[in-house]
Structure 1
């Protein structure tokens, strides 16, 4: 099948040749190939100003990112065969890394499939399409997943805010199979039951798995506070690691119901308690009650969703880390994370340090945290490197 060309302006191919996969709308030669001639999700061949084909991708004329490169060269088709190959390559890495089938199976651009995320929960796959191109290719993705994994069910969890930028609808539904049996995830010998249709993101945050493994070394016999706990992955891992008491705080009552059920199912209910409420408000109440914790984990949703929010986001990270440090016992441990891509790693550390100085505390960084290896970072695409964190010792000045 011959695909229509999408021509780039002169000099606009450098970033793609360096490894990036995105074409912005102002980089397209609209005289030779009007973007408006394409329908959202149409396949194309991306061609430089010298008529050399860079690769096959797809177009969305309604998006600032007008096209995404999926396969280099012009011989590939965007079909089941391509997705089967990419899935097998991604699967080979995960099977080397993990003893059990619980991980992010495919991470968008880093695994060669822009706009597609797949999370694996044993025999259930939760997929997320964030681009018009992948939305159009859903049948091919489903066929590839069936061929490679043969799961009992696959779910499309297509309710991420980024879909608005592609003019895509929000929804969650079952692609195939059934969900009569509960969907569960195992981590660190614990078992959690998930709501993959109604829960946050794809139901679980695999990106912090390796960081939660690190936390276990600091919690034995300690009192732990898990802020923005969601299903309690940090808190329950701490309890399983020997923490004498764990308090989990989240704004979602539904998530806390599942957290409490997981604590009971894993034999941890006697040492785990949950509190429903806004994190800032609950921390203020705990401070007023003169509560103290040996370890505080702060793992919030993104405070910076757009570049224009950076100044406000910096202040929010500073405030939440200050509030956390005010609840720390002397010689306490602070785990502070950010999933805001637009906030640089150094800015998070700066927010921690600024809060510490205002409280006349001293911070020692013990470990630098990042997303796990099932979220590989593409060296040419900084957008794939989003999760940053610090495990700190906080001392009196």
Structure 2
């Protein structure tokens, strides 16, 4: 902050699954728009625990921007559709956003015109586990993004539900399509995702784990945000009788 700029300070204390958010000094504009690498997003820093943009996922968004060109993209657990914005900025043909939160999706729909994106995105306010037919019929996809909550009752519990998603991936991806698997659960290591991929979708090949932003460096890579890239084989697996 420059010496002549006013200080605007929001403090949030989290505990027992709840968040206490307070404006300590200054003010927060409404609506509040932030920018990241040329993209703009609506955020609400005084409301709730999640503000509309997860800053530690910045490198994941940049990877999508660099790899979305020409692809049909499936954005699962889309939240406010930040991945959709950068995919279209990167040249995606189409993005299908799916999330069960109508409120988050409404913000996502606003984020697109905020970035002068008038077409290319669709928005499905559905429970993903009850919408597989529609999701599958919309494919195959050149890029699938999976960024679920780690533990949210009534929506997704990683230790129980992640493998259900992984089993679907081979049928969703076109040959050589990629999947971005995300998980932010300190108690679960990268091996949790890799072992489940080996069990439920062994034909998909691990390519890399994306580095997290330096400002979010953790004392343990095992506990930090995990963003893994897998690729489908060049030739689709032949059906067996």
Indicate if the aligned counterparts of 2:71 and 2:92 stay in contact, CA closer than 8 A.
Answer: yes
Residue of structure 1 in register with 2:214 after alignment:
373
Determine the C-alpha separation between the residues in 1 that align with 2:115 and 2:57: 20
Residue of structure 1 in register with 2:128 after alignment:
279
1:183 aligns with 2:29: no
CA positional deviation for 1:352: 1.7
Q: Deviations over 1:141-160 (max 9, x none)?
A: xxxxxx989555222233x3
Residue of structure 2 in register with 1:138 after alignment:
none
Which is higher, the Rg of structure 1 or of structure 2? 1
Q: 1:239 to 1:339 in 2, by over 3 A?
A: same
CA positional deviation for 1:233: 1.4
Indicate if the aligned counterparts of 2:189 and 2:222 stay in contact, CA closer than 8 A.
Answer: no
Determine the C-alpha separation between the residues in 1 that align with 2:189 and 2:3: 37
Indicate if the aligned counterparts of 2:76 and 2:97 stay in contact, CA closer than 8 A.
Answer: yes
Matched residue SS, 2:218: coil
**Which structure has more RCO (C-alpha within 8 Å, separation ≥ 6)?**
2
Residue of structure 2 in register with 1:255 after alignment:
104
* Structure 2 unmatched ranges of 5 or more: none
Indicate if the aligned counterparts of 1:225 and 1:247 stay in contact, CA closer than 8 A.
Answer: yes
Equivalent runs, 1:22-37 vs 2, <5 Å: none
Q: 1:241 to 1:304 in 2, by over 3 A?
A: same
Q: 1:197 to 1:384 in 2, by over 3 A?
A: farther
Determine the C-alpha separation between the residues in 2 that align with 1:283 and 1:323: 9
Of the three residues 225, 228, 233, the one matched with 1:387 is 225
Residue of structure 2 in register with 1:339 after alignment:
184
The structure in which a higher percent of residues are helix is 1
Indicate if the aligned counterparts of 1:294 and 1:328 stay in contact, CA closer than 8 A.
Answer: yes
Indicate if the aligned counterparts of 2:33 and 2:42 stay in contact, CA closer than 8 A.
Answer: yes
Determine the C-alpha separation between the residues in 1 that align with 2:109 and 2:176: 29
Runs of 4+ in 1 over 6 A off after TM superposition: none
Of the three residues 16, 23, 40, the one matched with 1:164 is 16
Determine the C-alpha separation between the residues in 1 that align with 2:222 and 2:228: 19
Matched residue SS, 1:334: strand
TM-score relative to the length of structure 2? 0.84
